[in-house]
Chains A and B, each alone.
Chain A
Amino acid sequence: MRNSLREERFSIETTIVNILIIILISVGVIFSVVTALGLVRLPDVYTRTHAASKSSTLGVMCILGGTFIHFWLREDHFNPQLVIAIAFLFITSPVAGHLIGRASYMSGIPLAEETVRDDMKIAVEKKKGEQK
């Protein structure tokens, strides 16, 4: 009994699965830390939204994927809610980032000092001119 348990614990499949879970969750945590760093260090709203909407999406998706694989292959429990959550985050959080950036641009929040080119300004003025 004890021997078979030990064999099961150190079989090649469980090792691969464990490594996969550890890699996925570590990558997710690292990306979340990068998000937090980006929120603190980047200069204006637009670059901060860029950090928050991209890397945090990937980070949370990696953590959810790791959890899904852990429950599927280690605990033998297929959890479709996690798959739906991954798809849902993948759709919604870039859209949320886009909307935050757009709303802040339209309410006139200034860009960072390092900005060299602003295509949106030209487009908005053109659109305003068309509607007058």
Chain B
Amino acid sequence: MRTNDVMLQTATKVVTFIILMFAVHIFFAGHYTPGGGFVGGLLTASAIVLLMLAYDIETVKKIIPFNYVMMTATGLLLALGTASASIFFNVPFFTHAYDYFDLPLWGKTSLHSAALFDLGVYLVVVGVTMTIIQTIGEDE
């Protein structure tokens, strides 16, 4: 008998966006308040897992057409690139830099290269979690 998932699917449509927004917030808040790449990545992965629970894996693959293995590789490359970019400025490996910029919408903002490293962590966490869950979930 085909089950009726209207409640779950409708709630998922709203809740997924709240979780994704919160994940982005947690990711960017990581420098001054609790949060960061790891928690943000896990929250994003949990939003996608919720989509997979409400709909099926094929539909979610159509909605979010990412290759999660490539995503993990990109994250690792980004982290390694941020760490090794300091070599070109004649400072030790993993030295970070920051400066203040005048962005059009935000005004005076301090941008730190550690955020790029965090983005790498974020991509690796999302990629690894989703790879694990997809490979387990598809194995019939």
**Are the C-beta atoms of B2 and A131 separated by less than 8 Å?**
yes
Interchain CA distance A84-B19 in the complex, whole Å: 10
- Count of A-B contacts with CB under 8 A? 23
- Contact at A99–B7, with CB atoms within 8 Å? yes
Partner of B11, one of A81, A87, A95, A131: A95
Q: How far is the CA of A92 from the CA of B1 in the complex (A)?
A: 26
* Distance in angstroms between the alpha carbons of A98 and B2 in the assembled complex: 17
> Is chain A's interface secondary structure helix, strand, loop, or mixed overall?
helix
Interface size class of A (residues with CB under 8 A): 10 to 19
Tell me which of A84, A98, A99, A131 contacts B18 (CB under 8 A).
Answer: A84
Cβ-defined contact, B1 with A128, below 8 A? yes
Compute how far the CA of A92 lies from the CA of B18 in the bound complex, rounded to whole angstroms.
11
- B22 at the A/B interface (Cβ < 8 Å)? yes
A91→B11 contact, CB < 8 A: yes
Q: Which residues of A contact B (CB under 8 A)?
A: 81, 84, 87-88, 91-92, 95, 98-99, 106, 124, 127-128, 131
Give 10 pairs: A residue, B residue, CB < 8 Å, sorted on A.
A81-B22, A84-B22, A88-B15, A91-B14, A92-B11, A95-B7, A95-B11, A98-B7, A99-B8, A131-B1
Report, nearest first, the 6 A-B pairs whose CB atoms are least far apart: A95-B11, A98-B7, A95-B7, A88-B18, A91-B11, A128-B1
